[in-house]
């Protein structure tokens, strides 16, 4: 069985970067710049005012327009950032 970790805390840092924390204690800085040109759902995130409206929803980070990133992807990015 796959054990999915959930985001428990997000903290805006700067630019398009959040500090993301998970329920298993893993945390790290995630720069979302790579997503800004990945289709129309992510286009509104280019505006930092909108980008900062992120919230925790369904165990991951999400924005009011429905954009989100899979928690397992974020977890892996946080693990790599900690190295």
pLDDT digit string, tens, across residues 17-34:
999 999 999 999 999 999
Domain ranges of the chain: 7-81
CATH code for the domain defined by 7-81:
3.30.2020.10
pLDDT 10s digits, 39-75: 999 999 999 999 999 999 999 999 999 999 999 999 9
pLDDT at 19: 97
Residue percentage of the chain with pLDDT more than 70: 95
DSSP conformation class of 51: H
Neighbours of 58 (CB within 10 A): 10
């Amino acid at each position: 069985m796959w054990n999915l970790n959930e985001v428990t805390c997000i903290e805006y840092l700067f630019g398009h970067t959040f500090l993301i924390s998970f329920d298993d204690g893993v945390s790290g800085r995630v720069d979302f710049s790579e997503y800004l040109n990945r289709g129309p759902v992510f286009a509104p995130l280019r505006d930092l005012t909108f980008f900062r409206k992120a919230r925790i929803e369904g165990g991951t980070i999400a924005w009011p327009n429905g954009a989100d990133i899979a928690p397992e992807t974020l977890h892996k990015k946080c693990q790599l950032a900690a190295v």
